[in-house]
């Protein structure tokens, strides 16, 4: 019996269920989606429940319509620095 894959899946799903970003804000009819709240789009989107520590960066981010008219994460100095710090670890 292979317990490890099932256990890893359960942990990943539990993390997505309980670690949703509570403070992120959506504006201009944009929607925050994805299993971990890592997506910003015009409509609800789903993603695989695979956790990356960089997703923590979106907890305080703003999901809004950008200059090109598409929904996206507003690139503040804080968000850019947070994403860069997690990218350096990979």
pLDDT tens for 6-56 read 434 444 444 444 455 456 688 889 999 999 999 999 999 999 999 899 999
Mean pLDDT of 63-68: 96
C-alpha 34/C-alpha 40 separation (Å) is 8
79 neighbors 57 (Cβ within 8 angstroms)? yes
- Domain range list for the chain: 3-89
Q: Given the structure tokens 């299993």, which residue do they identify? A: 35
Does position 78 have pLDDT exceeding 80, yes or no? yes
Return the pLDDT at 90: 54
**Buried b / exposed e across 10-41, counting CB within 10 Å, b at 16+?**
eebeebbeeeebeebebeeebebbbbbbbbbb
C-alpha 70/C-alpha 14 separation (Å) is 31
Does position 72 have pLDDT exceeding 80, yes or no? yes
Return the pLDDT at 17: 46
Return the pLDDT at 70: 96
C-alpha 35/C-alpha 37 separation (Å) is 6
């Amino acid at each position: 019996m292979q317990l490890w894959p099932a256990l890893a899946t359960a942990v990943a799903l539990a993390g997505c269920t309980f670690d949703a970003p509570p403070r992120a804000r959506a504006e201009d009819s944009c929607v925050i989606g994805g299993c971990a709240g890592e997506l910003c789009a015009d409509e609800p989107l789903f993603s695989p429940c695979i956790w990356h520590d960089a997703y923590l960066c979106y907890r305080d981010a703003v999901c809004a319509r950008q200059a090109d008219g598409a929904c996206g994460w507003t690139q503040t100095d804080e968000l850019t620095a947070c994403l860069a710090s997690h990218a350096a670890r990979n």
